[in-house]
Chain A
C-alpha cells in the first residue's frame, strides 16, 4: 500500500504533459522508419504490376499466347512470347533442388538440435553462416569451374542403369556440355541449405524438452523419439522452412543462369539445358529496349516471380497460423 501511495504522490509531482510530449516526436519518427517498408512494398507491387501488364494492354498479346510453350521474340512470322518454358523451368529446377536439399537440411537441423555435442555445434553453426554469406556469383562460378565439367566428363555419354535380373531400368542421353537442369538444381540445393536448416532447427528447438525426456523415459531410442515425436511436432516449422527455401530457390538469378544452359524449351531431361524466369530476365534485360514488346514480356515474367514470392509469404503465414490454432 505504501508503494501505491508513493507512486501516486510521484505521479502528482509530474507536470502535465506539454505539447512536445503530446506530439511524441520520437514515436512518430520510429514509426515512419518502420512503416517505410510498407511504402516500399506498395511501390514495388505497383511498378512491377504496371510494367507487367503492358504486354497485354499495350502490345495486345493475349493470355493464351503468353501461356504457350513457344518463346521466340525474333521469329519471322511475328514474335512469340510464350513464357511457359520459363515457369516450367523454374518449377522443375526448384523442385529437384528441394528434393536434394530437404533431407540433407532437415538431417543437419536434427544433428544440430538433437545429436551434436556442444563443440560440434560451435563449429557447424558458424560454417552455415559463412554458407549464407557466400555471394551467388561465387556459387555460380564454382558451378561452372567444378560441377559442370565434372558432369560433362563423368556422365557425358548415354546414362543408363541396368540391373542383373530386371534388365535396363532407364537410359537417357547424358550431359552434352554439363550446363543443365541438374547442375542448376545442385547449385541451388546448396544455396538453400542454410535457409531450410536454420528454420527447421528453430522448429526442433521449440519442441519442449519434457516431451523428449518423457519419450526417452518410456524406453524409446533417440531415433524413435526423433521419428515419432520430434518430426511430427515440428512438422509445420519444417514445412515453413521448405517454403522459404523454395522461395529463395525460385528467386535466385545469377548462380542459376551461369550453370543452367539457358535453352528456352520445356524441361525434358535432367541432363539437358533448361531455363528459368530469373535467368531469362537476367540475360535479356540488357539486350532489349525499354517499351518494346520483348522487354514487356520480361516485365510480365518479373510480375509472375513477384506473385510467386508474395504467395509463399501468405502460405507461410497460413502454415504458422494453423500451428498456433492447434
Chain B
C-alpha cells in the first residue's frame, strides 16, 4: 500500500485522497443526472414517435385519394378538398406579401441598421408582434379588414392578418441568413468599386439564398398550420362546391377570388370539433390532422434538404 500516503503523491498526478473524498455520493449524483438528462431526450423522441404512430394508425382507412379530392359531405365520409385548397391558397397569398417585405426588412436589419433608437424600436416591434397571442392578431384583423374595410370574412383579410403575424419571423430569419454571409465578401465587392446596393444585390443576396430558402419554408410551415388568426378573419363556414373554371377574381363564388370566405384545414378541424356533429367527425378530424402533420414534416424536411442542396451548389460554383 505505497500509494496510501497522499503526501508522497507524484507531482502532476491528482492527490489520491482528495479524489477519494469526492467520490461515492458525488459520483452517484453524476451518474443519476446523466441518466435523467438522457431520459429527457428519450422522452421527447418517444412522444414524437407516439404522435406520428398514433396519426398513422388513426388515418389508416380514412386518408385516401378521394378523401383529399372530394367535397365534404354530411352523409358519407366525404373529403376535404375545398379546405385543403383554401389552406394552400391562403399560404400562397400570405407568402406573396410576407416574403418580399420580410426579406427587404431583413436586408435593412442586417446591412443598414445602425446601433440607434430606430433600430431598437424596430426590434421591440419585432419582439412584440411575435409575443402577441395569435387570437388577438386575429381580432385585430377582424376589426380592421373584416369590419372597417368591409371585406367581410375573406381570404385576403386572413392572409393580411397572417402576414402581420409572421412578418417578424420572416424578417428575423432573413436577417440571420444575410448576417451569415462572411464580411470579406462584402469588403471584396466594395473594394472593386461596387456600390453598397450593388454589393447587396449581386453578392450578399445570392450567397444568402440557402438560408433565405430555409427561412421561407419554415415560415410557410407556421402559416400553414395557423388557425387562431384565421378563425375571425377568413371565416369558419363549410365551403361550397368549388368551380375551378370560374376565373372571375371579383366573383365571391370563384375559388380563385381573394374576396370569399376561406375556411382552412386547421380551422376546419377546430370547427368540426367545436360543433361536434356528424357521424364521421372523428375520422375526418383524424385524417385532416394526419395530413397537417405530414405537411409539417414535409416542410421541415424540405427546408433542410433544399437548404443543403442549394448551399452545395452555390458554394461549389
Contact = CB atoms under 8 A, between A and B. Distances in A.
B60 interface: no
Interface of B: 14, 18-19, 22, 26-27, 29-30, 32-34, 36-41, 43-45, 47-48, 51, 54, 58, 100-102, 104-109, 111-113, 118, 121-122, 124-129, 131-137, 139-140, 142-144, 147, 164, 167-168, 171, 193, 195-197, 200-201, 221-222, 224-228, 231-232, 236, 266-267, 269-270, 273-274, 282, 285-286, 289, 292-293, 296-297, 299-300, 304
Interface string A97-116: 00000001001101110111
B45 A142 contact: no
The 3 A-B residue pairs with the shortest CB-CB distance, nearest first, are: A251-B133, A135-B225, A33-B104
B101 A135 contact: no
Contact of B227 (A36, A135, A309): A135
A252 interface: yes
B108 A313 contact: no
Given A137-B292, A286-B232, 5 more contacts: A33-B105, A36-B101, A131-B44, A135-B224, A299-B139
B30 A222 contact: yes
Interface in A220-242: 220-224, 226
B41 A223 contact: no
A110 B30 CA distance: 13
Contacts of A10: 193
Nearest to A127: B48
Given A37-B125, A111-B38, A136 B227 contact: yes
Given A48-B139, A134-B296, A219 B14 contact: yes
B193 A278 contact: no
B273 A144 contact: yes
Interface of A: 10, 14, 21, 24, 26-27, 29-38, 40-41, 43-44, 47-48, 51, 104, 107-108, 110-112, 114-116, 120, 123-124, 126-131, 133-138, 140-142, 144-146, 190, 193, 219-224, 226, 244, 247-248, 250-254, 258, 278, 281-282, 285-286, 290, 299, 302, 305-306, 309-310, 312-313, 316-317
Contact of B38 (A51, A115, A134): A115
Contacts of A258: 270, 273-274
A29 B111 CA distance: 13
A174 to B, nearest CB: 24
A285 to B, nearest CB: 6
B273 A26 contact: no
Given A47-B144, A107-B37, A108-B40, A136 B195 contact: no
A286 B292 CA distance: 25
Identify whether the interface residues of B are mostly helix, strand, loop, or mixed: helix
A148 to B, nearest CB: 12
A27 to B, nearest CB: 6
B273 A140 contact: yes
Nearest to A130: B300
A124 B46 CA distance: 10
Contacts of B44: 108, 124, 127-128, 131, 193
B122 A37 contact: yes
A111 B221 contact: no
A129 B129 CA distance: 21
Contacts of B101: 33, 36
Contact of B300 (A24, A107, A133, A286): A133
29 contacts: A21-B195, A30-B112, A31-B108, A33-B104, A34-B109, A34-B113, A37-B125, A37-B126, A37-B171, A38-B122, A43-B140, A43-B144, A47-B140, A47-B144, A48-B140, A104-B40, A111-B38, A114-B37, A124-B45, A133-B222, A133-B296, A133-B299, A137-B266, A142-B54, A144-B273, A221-B22, A223-B26, A309-B132, A312-B131
A146 B57 CA distance: 14
B13 to A, nearest CB: 12
Given A41-B128, A282-B228, A130 B296 contact: yes
Given A38-B121, A133-B222, A313-B127, A223 B137 contact: no
Contacts of A30: 104-105, 107-108, 111-112
B270 A224 contact: no
B292 A135 contact: yes
Contact of B34 (A31, A33, A108, A223): A223
